[in-house]
Amino acid sequence: MNQQRLLRMFFWVAGSVWPFLAQAEPAAEVLQAEQQRIEVMERAAATTVAVFDGSGQGGGSGVVISPDGFALTNFHVTAACGSAMKCGMADGKVYDAVIVGIDPVGDVALIQLLGRDDFPHAPLGDSDRVTVGDWVFTSGNPFLLADDFQPSIAYGMVSGVHRYQYPAGTLLEYADCIQTDAAINPGNSGGPLFAADGKLIGINGRGSFEKRGRVNVGVGYAISINQIKHFLPHLKSGRIVDHATLGATVSTSDEGRVSVDEILDNSDAFRRGLRYGDQIVRFAGRDITTANRLKNALGVFPRGWLVPLTFRRDGQSFDTTVRLMGVHDQSQLYDLVQKQEQKPAEPPGGDRPAPDGEETPKPKLPNLSKKKTKLPETVSKRFVARRGYANYWYNEKKQSQLWGNYADRQVLEKAGFDWEISAENIAIEIDRERATIQLQNSVSGAAFSNALATDDLASQLSPPKSGGLLLTLHLWQRLIDKGLRKYGEVYYLGQLPSKPEGTMVDCLIGIYAGIETCFQFDTQSGELVGIVMLPRDGVDPCELQLSDYGEVSGRRLPRKWRVLHGDQQFFELEISDWKFGTDSREEKN
């Protein structure tokens, strides 16, 4: 009886109070937060792209990151489209788009939407600041059902950070991922993961799907935007981009030590002192406590990146900086991409799900040497096929920009091959066939010479301990005299940190007589600020750093030189005089 009375009283009170509660206005703070969330999602939706090949056979999502139409998506999304694709945006319009660069290992592709220069675009966030429990939302085209290109929005939270997933029979390697319970379904692949403030923090790629129907089960993964930032200038180079390796394998001991099991003797890590049995303590600013952590940290860098490393041996710690190797060489990576076309792997989540009982269709990876169909005119103007490149047009454009900016300054216009350079206690003379350097001090003097007309330039590395300064100067002269098209093989690599400060530089690679030289340009001024000459694999390069541009002998020239070889500085000097011969300059292309 007492229970019945309590129940009647409860329902009477509830019935009496509910009308008043239903009429109560939400708090102003709640309404304001709701409106802010709606506005953020509207702006995010405007930057989201539906990517498809025009035939309805494949597709996914993407996000525009700059007003000129550059957009990020997954490699496995663009793979089914080839060199050209169609992109629908929330404004209901469809735009032609062209492939720019691909990262098949990291499952990232850069495309460019064409037709306007004022695309709505997403601001890039800082994925290193993302923590478990942060509110996030996805935007995209799940199951490719958004025929009007209005993206679906799914709200959730970050459930894990710094996740790593090993390749599963494919090139794809998901490192340093953000894990979220916001819905990521087939078709969301390549779409954006936004922080609550609308900043882009990741590109959705891999989801953990049920076997039947491949629908989200609350565990999805996004490639961190900070990883993509490292690769973005490389992707804009139009190349097929590779990831980095330390050149060593490690394992985790029962004591929690991460020790080197094997190391390549031609790796920079080996030259910097890392050996078998050494314990890796810290890498790229992260404490390394497991082999998985090291693999995770490595996965966010492209080949050639400079990274701080701390290792321990016999109780003593060593701090150094290493330049990372590539996992593949360019030709090998290209061939592996082509082989994947013959044996396609299950995509990490992107195409329309098959009916129950049928196997989900698998997209083919692109045959980059062939065009599937005739390209639209707007796309064909921005596409050049070349082995080793996703789109050589963008590489050629960047080469011309760097070289044109440098040449327009007339730093060494008509300088020829006859140079006489003077500094305190140093004199350098160099022409087409021979280079000589004289070093003087208070006790004695020494002279060293290079024969530059031989076929074996890599053996001409005078003066000793410089790594080949005279050869470096000769190759600098050659680039100035011959220009881009006659130097040898030339391509734009992307941006890398330089020694010793780690400032970012644009890298133009020249290959002549088997010698690879990196010409480094300041990303803001366009000045040539460094030359890194690698005579052969497995040795330390000669690094010539150039600074303090000003007038010398009536020209704007770098007055301060610093020469490094490995961990050692060969010399630092200030140019007092620089004379040029009258050799006529060959026509520059």
List, as one string, the DSSP characters of 286-349: EE--SHHHHHHHHTT-BTT-EEEEEEEETTEEEEEEEEPEESS-HHHHHHHHHHHHHSPPPPSS
* pLDDT at 317 exceeding the cut of 70: yes
Examine the domain organization and report whether 366 and 513 are in the same domain.
no
**pLDDT digits over 327-383, tens only?**
887 777 877 776 654 444 334 433 333 333 333 333 343 444 444 568 888 899 999
Q: What share of the chain in percent tops pLDDT 70?
A: 82
- The reported pTM is 0.86
Q: Is 22 within the bounds of a domain? A: no
| pLDDT of res. 447 | 82
Residue that terminates a domain, selected from 369, 390, 411:
390
CB contact at 8 A, 220 and 89: no
Task: Give the pLDDT confidence score for residue 373 in this predicted structure.
Answer: 64
For residues 557 and 436, is the Cβ–Cβ distance under 8 A?
A: no
Check whether 217 has a pLDDT greater than 50: yes
C-alpha–C-alpha distance, residues 178 and 164, integer Å: 9
State how many domains the chain has. 3
How does pLDDT run across 394-431, given as a tens digit for each residue?
A: 999 999 999 988 877 666 767 778 899 999 889 999 98
Reported confidence tier of residue 582, pLDDT bands at 50, 70, 90: low
Residue 425 has a pLDDT of: 85
Residues 384 and 401 in one domain: no
Task: Report the pLDDT averaged over residues 129-149.
Answer: 88
In this predicted structure, which of 4-13, 325-334, 435-444, 537-546 has the lowest mean pLDDT? 4-13
Q: Residue 259 pLDDT more than 90?
A: yes
Q: Judge if 249 and 151 occupy the same domain.
A: no
Residue 310: predicted pLDDT: 97
Average pLDDT over every residue of 165-170: 64
Task: For residue 230, give the nearest of 497, 430, 415, 512 by alpha carbon.
Answer: 497
- Percentage with pLDDT > 90 across the chain: 55
Cα 343 from chain centroid (whole Å): 27
481 vs 475: CA distance, rounded Å? 10
Angle at 489 between CA 483 and CA 491, to 5 degrees: 85
Residue 349: predicted pLDDT: 39
pLDDT of residue 143: 82
Q: 434 and 458 share a domain?
A: yes
Confidence bin at 580 (pLDDT 50/70/90): confident
CB 317 within 8 A of CB 291: no
Range name among 287-296, 310-319, 352-361, 365-374 with the lowest pLDDT average:
352-361
Average pLDDT over residues 89-106: 94
Q: Which residues, other chains included, contact 136 with Cβ-Cβ below 8 Å and sequence gap of 6+?
A: 130, 155, 156, 157, 158, 178, 180, 182, 193, 194, 195, 196, 201
pLDDT for 354: 33
Q: Is 9 exposed, middle or buried (0-12, 13-18, 19+ CB in 10 A)?
A: exposed
Q: What is the CATH number of the domain that holds 109?
A: 2.40.10.120
Q: Are residues 273 and 410 located together in one domain of the fold?
A: no
With residues binned 3-state (H G I as helix, E B as strand, rest as coil), the percentages for the chain, rounded to 5, are 20, 40, 40
Q: Are residues 287 and 161 in the same domain?
A: no
Say yes or no: 419 and 482 in one domain.
yes
Range with lowest mean pLDDT among 134-138, 203-207, 363-367, 521-525: 363-367
Return the structure tokens found at 555. 């020209």
Within-domain flag for 585? no
Enumerate residues 6+ apart whose C-beta is below 8 A from 19.
none
Strand arrangement, sheet containing 515-522: 445-451, 434-440, 426-430, 419-423, 568-580, 555-565, 542-552, 528-534, 515-522, 504-512, 489-497
Q: Would you say residue 29 lies in a domain?
A: no
Query: pLDDT per residue over 104-122, tens digit each?
Result: 999 999 999 999 999 999 9
Domain boundary among 367, 390, 413: 390
Residue 528 clears pLDDT 50, i.e. is over it = yes
Regarding whether 193 and 69 lie in a shared domain, the answer is: yes
Segment among 172-176, 435-439, 557-561, 585-589 with least mean pLDDT: 585-589
196/288 same-domain check: no
Residue range(s) defining the domain that contains residue 237: 37-242+328-390
pLDDT over threshold 90, residue 202: yes
For residue 18, the model assigns a pLDDT of 59
pLDDT at 240 over 90: yes
Domain co-membership, 185 together with 50: yes
CA distance 214 to 353: 7
Is residue 589 assigned to a domain?
no
**pLDDT value of residue 216:** 63
CB 100 within 8 A of CB 110: yes
Q: Which residue has the higher pLDDT, 132 or 143?
A: 132
pLDDT digits (tens, 9 = 90+) for 477-499: 999 888 888 999 999 999 999 98
Helix (H) or strand (E) holding 551: strand 542-552
| pLDDT of residue 164 exceeding 80 | yes
Assigned domain for 163 exists: yes
The CATH number assigned to the domain holding 272 equals 2.30.42.10
Residue 56 inside a domain? The answer is yes
DSSP 8-state class, residue 242: -
| pLDDT score, position 185 | 85
Give the sign of the dihedral formed by CA 153, CA 157, CA 162, CA 165.
Answer: negative
| Confidence at residue 442, expressed as pLDDT on a 0 to 100 scale | 45
CA pair distance 557, 551, nearest whole angstrom: 6
Q: Residue written as tokens 């314990």?
A: 279
Structure tokens at 120: 């709505």
Q: Among 108-122, 132-146, 150-164, 398-412, where is mean pLDDT lowest?
A: 398-412
What CATH code is carried by the domain that includes residue 490? Answer: 2.50.20
4 lies in a domain? Answer: no
210, 220: one domain: yes
Tell me the β-bridge partners of 511.
Answer: 489, 516
Please give the pLDDT value at position 52. 87
Look at residue 363 and tell me if it is in a domain: yes
Q: Three-state DSSP class for 478?
A: helix
Q: What residues have CB less than 8 Å from 68, skipping those under 6 apart? A: 112, 117, 119
Query: Do 169 and 97 have their domain in common?
Result: yes
Q: Which pairs from 281-286 meet CB under 8 Å and 24+ separation? A: 281/310, 281/311, 281/312, 281/317, 282/308, 282/309, 282/310, 283/246, 283/307, 283/308, 283/309, 283/310, 284/308
